[in-house]
Amino acid sequence: MRMKLWHCHNTRSLRPLWAMEEMGMTYELVELPFPPRVLQKDYLRVNPLGTVPYFVDGDTHMTESSAIAHYLVERYQRYDFGLKASHPEFGAYLNWMYHSDATLTFPHTIAIRYAIMESEERRLPQAVSDYGRWFIGRLKRLDRHISDRKYLCDQRFTIADIAIGYALYLGEIVGFSKDYSTAILAYLDRLKARPAFQKVVVIGEAESTFKNISLWG
């Protein structure tokens, strides 16, 4: 069976989609409206969480965007996009991979929820601005690291750049990027210029409501 990915435009499923495209893999893509939990209720039979991505490869079923990219490197030995455990920068590579969602994408989730997903009376402008600021504060380490490098690890593009790059890209969609440093803006531009990113980022764009949402400022 071919690999299969459920995807919504501009959401975290962009991470594994971008990774599969960079690796030249063959896959089946199922496009969904966002949020599928509300707009495509039968998706809950596939993924009871209602979130994207959802990824299937044989008996493997996964819901975590950065973990799926990591799985592709390890399962298919695609170390041209990843680092082996014996590499001196392996710890740093894993740290960026986990940092990408646990630290750098969760604030967007809170901001998006309390700016647009909740009903008018449940919206919380203070949560939106607090978590926007929180996110910018958490970019300090990336800023220092990327100011004298093109990519995060091993002086080459890896899935760590996909994982972190998506957090920065989502930040741009929701309006946080006006406070990005020069080094981070240049890094994001470098990632967005990649042909694989440009190919997948437009998938579902025409029907999407999840684009250019300026939540902040």
Ligand X SMILES: N[C@@H](CCC(=O)N[C@@H](CS)C(=O)NCC(=O)O)C(=O)O
Q: Which residues contribute to the site for ligand X (CB under 6 A)?
A: 11-12, 35, 37, 50-53, 64-66, 101
Tokens matching residue 132: 């926007």
CB of 105 to ligand X, least distance (A): 7
| Contact yes or no for 217/171 (Cβ under 8 A) | no
CB of 52 or CB of 142, closer to ligand X: 52
CB of 109 or CB of 181, closer to ligand X: 109
Question: Prior bond to 33 cis, omega within 30?
Answer: no
Chain position carrying tokens 């997948």: 200
Distance CA 25, CA 23 (A): 5
CB of 22 or CB of 101, closer to ligand X: 101
- Give the DSSP H/E element, type plus range, for residue 60: strand 60-62
CB of 67 to ligand X, least distance (A): 7
CB of 46 or CB of 183, closer to ligand X: 46
Distance CA 127, CA 131 (A): 6
CB of 212 to ligand X, least distance (A): 16
At CA 48, angle to CA 59 and CA 39, rounded to 5?
A: 120
Closest CA to 19 of 171, 189, 166: 166
Strand partners, 7: 31
CB of 155 or CB of 212, closer to ligand X: 212
CB of 51 to ligand X, least distance (A): 3
CB of 40 to ligand X, least distance (A): 11
